[in-house]
Structure 1
Amino acid sequence: MRFNHLDLNLLVALDVLLEEQNITRAAERLHMTQSATSGVLGRLRTYFEDELLVQVGRKMQPTPYALELMAPVREVLLTIQSSITAKPVFDPATSKRHFRLMTSDYLISVLFAQVIERIHQEAPHITFEMIGPSDNSGELLMRGEVDLMIVPDRYTLEGHPSQLLFEEEHVCVVWNGNTQVGDHLTLEKYMEMGHVSVGFGRTRHMSIEEWFITQYGFNRRLEVITNDFNTLPQLVVGTQRIATMHQRLARLYAAHLPLRILPPPVKIPVMREVMLWHRSVDGDPMHRWLRDRITAFVHSVEQMQAA
């Protein structure tokens, strides 16, 4: 198929070439030989009247024009995928759809383990891939490489739909043999204790550190930094340390580990967890069905807790 003398099949190749910026890797993904892939790049250069990718040392780098093309090319391909090739009629019971969800281990523990179990009862052939958050999470969603992100609302992306799932409080967790803390926790005691915290990505972004610095002008005394939320309660057992973590996850672990849950010494802002998805799949029936199932589960849990 051609549009304005451009073979639209070449857009797929252009998208891969701009992402990989490497002929060999692009050829592997396109299931083509390197020479054929080089030929495709030559045709694209002729059409766009731009080098698109230039050799700099041992690497290829996109030209300024190629960088401008990256987003619209991916947008066109996602629109074709969701609007033209997607089936208008769907049947969850027979669907073999594969969903890639980006979310934290905390949300897998308190939400998605149960959601996936329920979905399996209605749609036994649907499969899931759970991807942890990273420094380029938003970019992966915008490129259509993840189907759904569940993140705090500060990570929403302009121009893409989102929906509030629930609000979460923070609590403090200590070992039930901790001798430094009674039933109440003062800010002074909290700040002098050793803390266990979570750091994400190459920048080791800390979960609530920025808020503490802004609010009080100092850091907590971090003695252990882990890379997931589920290890927080495990790392305080048998120690005099303290962890500040999500209330739902703390309650889950307190039922199985020798832990005490305490209110924090200061009011930590409520965290709002949202679902976020690419606008191109907003009307996708199967995607909408998945979002509805997740929302329905959250509402059912909240109703049980309120009863």
Structure 2
Amino acid sequence: MAHSKLDLYDFLLLREIRAARSVTGASEQIGLSQPAVSIRLGRLRDHFDDPLFVRTSEGMMATPFLEKLLPHIEQAINLLNPEGGSYKPFDADTSSRRFRLGLSHVAQLVMFPEIVAALRRSAPLVQLDSVDLDPSTGNLLESGKLDLAIGYTIDLHHGFYQQRLFAENYSCIARADHPRVSKALTRKQFLQEQHLALVAPTTGHSRLDKALEERGVQRKVAVRVSSFLGLERIITSTDLLAIVPSRLARTLALGGRILPLELPFPSLSYEVRQYWHERYHHDAGNSWMRKLIFDMFTNLPPAFTYQADGRTGSPDPASAPG
């Protein structure tokens, strides 16, 4: 067995390959090139006289020897790097790091454009990817293939942090020149008109039908979709109504073709949060991105203010998100 000296990067490399299940993923996290990671891994295999990782259909999996060694590796990392993983410095002015955000479709339409604009101002070289939320979101966060996830309650197991951003409620939308609906929407109109409904079991919107049922509301659903992407075109070319998150209603109304309306019954609300894995809680770049998003979206005011005469208006511009 070889007895070469080990350093922090060796321990980090083993931890990151196990999490990412690939040499490429590990190299992105610890800031070493892929050839450098491969060379170090070869030396570690010689040092421990064990393959450490084997290739499988699910990526590179740790050997039983390495699995038993990992708790001791974590202890070594904590001793050598008390910051808990902030081994990769982050400078917003010069960094070209690529961040990957897992977003609900509503967040992609409403929040993502604002995040992109903020990054262009404060971190012009940073790159940004938007990824759909799905059942693999937790695994992607844990492996580092996603930096953050943003949306309604996401089913994540132990080891994740979450942070409340803002509360959201629902509004109804119709085309601006709808022949029977204008300004205020009555309960009778709501029940008589045909509707478009979103069917998305993995999102917070899945609670809507149950909430409507509890309020004695039964929609005449003529069209069902699996995403709000393309919603504006459907609504503007039909007489259908749709219930959407209020901030999405505001976004769609900006073009003047969509009419946002207050629901004629008490609406449910939900909280939008951001989520990340504890492995990246102290990562300098992840921490910077979390703070940027929190500062932009925390405790937003209601997307619309509703007047007693049924008119719908935007909140005071001073309180709108920047």
TM-score bracket for this pair, using the shorter chain length: 0.5 to 0.7
Kindly report which structure 2 residues correspond to 1:1-307, keeping only aligned pairs within 5 A, or say none: 83=85, 85-87=87-89, 90-153=90-153, 155=155, 157-181=157-181, 183-186=184-187, 189-200=189-200, 205=202, 208-213=205-210, 216=213, 220-298=219-297, 302=301, 304-306=317-319
**CA shift in 2, pair 1:166/1:199, >3 Å:** same
Listed as ranges, the gaps of 5+ residues in structure 1 are 19-28
Task: Provide, for residues 127-154 of structure 1, a one-character-per-residue CA deviation record: whole Å limited to 9, x for no partner.
Answer: 1111011132223223322000001135
**CA shift in 2, pair 1:249/1:16, >3 Å:** closer
Q: How much does 1:119 deviate?
A: 1.8
Whether the aligned pair in 2 keeps the contact of 1:177 and 1:238 (CA below 8 Å) is: no
* Alignment-mate amino acid for residue 233 of structure 1: E
* Alignment-mate amino acid for residue 243 of structure 2: T
* Alignment-mate amino acid for residue 86 of structure 1: K
Percent of paired sites with the same residue: 19
* Alignment-mate amino acid for residue 273 of structure 2: V
**CA shift in 2, pair 1:122/1:258, >3 Å:** closer
Q: How much does 1:110 deviate?
A: 2.2
Q: Secondary structure at the match of 2:93?
A: coil
Of the structure 1 ranges 145-154 and 93-102, higher mean CA displacement relative to structure 2 is found in 145-154
* TM-score of the superposed pair, with normalisation by structure 2: 0.65
- What is the CA–CA distance in structure 2 between the aligned matches of 1:287 and 1:206, rounded to whole Å? 24
Whether the aligned pair in 1 keeps the contact of 2:149 and 2:275 (CA below 8 Å) is: yes
Listed as ranges, the gaps of 5+ residues in structure 2 are 23-33, 302-315
- What is the CA–CA distance in structure 2 between the aligned matches of 1:233 and 1:252, rounded to whole Å? 10
Whether the aligned pair in 2 keeps the contact of 1:199 and 1:207 (CA below 8 Å) is: no
Q: Secondary structure at the match of 1:169?
A: strand
Q: How much does 1:100 deviate?
A: 0.6
Q: How much does 1:124 deviate?
A: 1.5
Task: Provide, for residues 186-214 of structure 1, a one-character-per-residue CA deviation record: whole Å limited to 9, x for no partner.
Answer: 1x5434533223334xxx55753444236
Q: Secondary structure at the match of 1:283?
A: coil
- What is the CA–CA distance in structure 1 between the aligned matches of 2:178 and 2:253, rounded to whole Å? 15
Q: Secondary structure at the match of 1:161?
A: strand
**CA shift in 2, pair 1:193/1:2, >3 Å:** farther
- What is the CA–CA distance in structure 1 between the aligned matches of 2:318 and 2:281, rounded to whole Å? 31
Whether the aligned pair in 2 keeps the contact of 1:191 and 1:221 (CA below 8 Å) is: yes
Q: Secondary structure at the match of 1:83?
A: coil
Q: Secondary structure at the match of 1:248?
A: helix
**CA shift in 2, pair 1:209/1:10, >3 Å:** closer
- What is the CA–CA distance in structure 2 between the aligned matches of 1:259 and 1:150, rounded to whole Å? 26
Q: Secondary structure at the match of 1:108?
A: helix
**How many pairs align?**
268
Whether the aligned pair in 2 keeps the contact of 1:171 and 1:262 (CA below 8 Å) is: yes
**CA shift in 2, pair 1:298/1:178, >3 Å:** same
* Alignment-mate amino acid for residue 250 of structure 2: R
- What is the CA–CA distance in structure 1 between the aligned matches of 2:21 and 2:156, rounded to whole Å? 28
Match of 1:23 in 2: none
* TM-score of the superposed pair, with normalisation by structure 1: 0.68
- What is the CA–CA distance in structure 2 between the aligned matches of 1:177 and 1:227, rounded to whole Å? 26
Task: Provide, for residues 166-198 of structure 1, a one-character-per-residue CA deviation record: whole Å limited to 9, x for no partner.
Answer: 111210001233334452231x54345332233
**CA shift in 2, pair 1:214/1:296, >3 Å:** closer
* Alignment-mate amino acid for residue 165 of structure 2: L
- What is the CA–CA distance in structure 2 between the aligned matches of 1:167 and 1:229, rounded to whole Å? 19
Q: Secondary structure at the match of 2:179?
A: coil
Whether the aligned pair in 2 keeps the contact of 1:148 and 1:277 (CA below 8 Å) is: yes
* Alignment-mate amino acid for residue 94 of structure 1: T
Task: Provide, for residues 29-85 of structure 1, a one-character-per-residue CA deviation record: whole Å limited to 9, x for no partner.
Answer: 9999xxx9xx99xx55xx89xxx999xxxx89xx9x98xx6xx89x96x99997174
* Alignment-mate amino acid for residue 294 of structure 2: T
**CA shift in 2, pair 1:227/1:128, >3 Å:** same
- What is the CA–CA distance in structure 2 between the aligned matches of 1:144 and 1:12, rounded to whole Å? 9
Whether the aligned pair in 1 keeps the contact of 2:101 and 2:128 (CA below 8 Å) is: yes
- What is the CA–CA distance in structure 1 between the aligned matches of 2:189 and 2:172, rounded to whole Å? 12
Q: Which has the higher helix share?
A: 1
**CA shift in 2, pair 1:124/1:234, >3 Å:** same
Whether the aligned pair in 2 keeps the contact of 1:232 and 1:243 (CA below 8 Å) is: no
